[in-house]
Every structure is written in structure tokens, then in C-alpha cells.
Amino acid sequence: MSKRRQNRRVRRVIKEKEIGACSIFGALNQAGERFGGEGVVRAIANMHDRSNGLGGGFAIYGLYPEYRDYYALHVMYENENQVAKEKAEAYIHKHFDVVHDEEIPNSGEPKAPNAPRTWRYFVAPSEKVDAFENEDYVVQKVIELNSTIKDACIFSSGKNMGVFKGVGYPEDIAEYFLLDKLYQGYLWTAHGRFPTNTPGSWTGAHPFNLLDRTVVHNGEISSYGTNRRHLEMYGYKCIANTDTEVLIYATDLLLRRQGLPMELATKILAPPVWEAIKNEKEKERHLLTTLRQVYAPLLMNGPFAIIIASHGEMIGLTDRIRLRPLTAATSGDMLYLSSEEASIRLISPKLDKVWTPNGGEPVVGKVTKRVKVKNEVLPLARVSA
């Protein structure tokens, strides 16, 4: 191919999207008390057969109280690319003040081949800006680094939280990153992956993350092309070749940049059908109609069950005709979300309430109290006191 031909060819590269079944699990202590990962690992392992060993991962909130004021960047360096690490570190040091960095502890024995080196950096933006711009700054830098430095990927960028993920069954990933031995959090989400049309990749595993928001996802987003092209207009770059990526960008746009409340955002991602809107009272009908009109390109179509988490909040949501499973349960302060009820009962036999939410109806769990952990107040910025 001539040079010109190659250039043209690049123009119409359309992102592949990975599709598949999966298991998802989430556990939130609504009193904000931290707990270890042993139960969560057992729960997700109980759904072993819903994944195929090509991806697993966890998000943990309340993870780094000692560095709670710093963005914790978890970075993967793939293909033993030493240049990637040098370039990425130069980039990070150029744009951030790094207060501490270290390799993310691991067992040294990954079950899957091609394990990347994973490193974490606790950073503050090197330019002093206000809180919102601060976040925008971090988002921009994350997207820029991920889309420009080959073999380097920031896969976790929130404060006082972190994502651990990779190729393997979720229990293998937990073991590799020593999750149940090293960490505690008040909110855990977990994912077991079953991609069907592309080989699993470490970066493509769930949870997906931007700032402190994470998404674990079971399903396929048939509207991916529509969603992706819309989000690209707002500066997002879909680089992971997986449909889940649009969920994290859509929630970032709606919740953080446009400041919509979560309840409304769920009505954008999985809106009620017109037939149902017609029967609403005047005010709600107007609101829901406007949401559908304005945000039609962000409707997530196709089967999905997702858990969206951020500090102090965990939301479960299925597509509007509920083509993927999701069960919710409470026990005392604990709220559980799971693909299968059995996993919840395995780790919490006594439950106060178990239910299956309707399609498009969010299950919203929030941390209601501010609590002290190690003599420090957890920064639950988004929680109304």
C-alpha cells in the first residue's frame, strides 16, 4: 500500500467493540465502614462460569486514606515496553506533582500470560486550579496519555480509591494483587469477563474508570456507534475497543461536567419507553420527554446490567427492557448488587430484603454517615450530609 493509501485507510477505522456475557458484583457499606475483600472475592468467584478467564477486576473505595488528597494513578505498562514507562513517567512528572510512587504489590505469579507491570503514583495537578477544573485537568491528561503513549495506560485515576484488573478469572486477579490481604474499603465492585470476539486484554478488563467513577458492565451496547460518535464531540476518545468505555464517558459527561443528579442520568441511559412517559403526570412527562429529546444519543441500547460507583455512591441499573440479570439485597448497613442472588447469599446468608429491580429502574445506594477511619474523616464529597 502506498503511504497515501495507508493514511486514507486510517480515516475509516471504526473501533471494534468487544461483546460478551459477564458477572458483576458490588457491596457497599452504607455507614461508610471499611471491610476486607474476602467476601467480595468469594462472591464473584461463585459466578466463575459466567466469565471465561479473559478478564477480571475490582474497584475499591476508601482505599488510600493516607493519600486521600491525591489522585491515585494506577498505570499499566504492557509488552515489557521500558520506553513506555519512561515516557509515561516523564509525562506524569511534567503535569503532576508526584508525592509517592511504587509498583503495585503483586504475588509475582499471574495466572495469565503477558501480565503488564503495574505502578501507582499519588499525584496532585502541578497547576493550581479550582476543584472542578482540577478534575477536568486530570481527565484530559488521562485521555491524552492513554491515547498517545503506546503500551501505557492509566486505568485508575480517582482519589482514595483504586482499580485492580487484568486477564484471568476475577479470583486470580484478586490473588495476584493480594487484594484480600492488603486492602480495605467501604465499597467494592467486581467483574468477571466473558469476551467473545476478541482476545482478552489487561486494559480491556473491567472496572472502567475515570476519576473516582467506575463502571462494571455485563452486556453489549448496540448503540455503541451512536454513543461513541456523540461522546467524541465532547472530547472523549474511545481507545479501549470496548463498548463499556462509552458508559464511563457518558456518566462523566452527565454527572460531573453537566452536574445532573444520578437519578436523572439513569433516565438518560435507560429512559422509560414513550408509552410509559405518555402516562406520567404533566411535569414528569415534560421532563422525561425533554431528556429523551436532548440526550437521545446517550441512550444505551441493547442488553446491559451495570454497577456505577463513585465515592459514597453505588448504583445498579439494567437496560430498559431488562435483558441482563441484576439482583439487589440489603443486610443491615450493607447493600449488595449481583448478577446472581446465590453469590449474595453465599457471603451474607441473612438478608433483610432481596429484590429484582425492573428494567431501567436504578438501585441507588449512598453512604449516609461520615465516619472516622484511622482517625481521619473519609472525604465523601458527593454525599449530602
Binding site residues, another protein, CB under 8 A: 5, 8-9, 11-12, 14-15, 17, 19-21, 196-197, 219-220, 222-227, 229-230, 232-234, 253-254, 257-261, 263-264, 273-275, 283-284, 286-287, 290-297, 299-303, 320-321, 323, 384
Question: Which ranges of the chain would DSSP assign to H, the alpha helix?
Answer: 3-11, 38-45, 82-95, 131-148, 170-176, 179-182, 224-232, 244-251, 262-269, 274-278, 282-294, 341-347
Burial of 129 (0-12, 13-18, 19+ CB in 10 A): exposed
**Whole-angstrom distance, CA of residue 257 vs CA of residue 132:** 9
CB of 190 to another protein, least distance (A): 21
Name which of 344, 326, 78, 43 is nearest 192 in CA terms: 43
CB of 80 to another protein, least distance (A): 31
Q: How far is CA 113 from CA 41, 104, 156, 221, 289, in A?
A: 21, 18, 22, 28, 49
| Nearer residue to another protein within complex by CB, 209 or 227 | 227
| Nearer residue to another protein within complex by CB, 132 or 234 | 234
| Nearer residue to another protein within complex by CB, 97 or 284 | 284
List residues with catalytic annotation.
22
CB of 233 to another protein, least distance (A): 5
| Upstream peptide bond of 207 is cis (omega within 30 degrees of 0) | yes
CB of 183 to another protein, least distance (A): 32
**Whole-angstrom distance, CA of residue 313 vs CA of residue 317:** 13
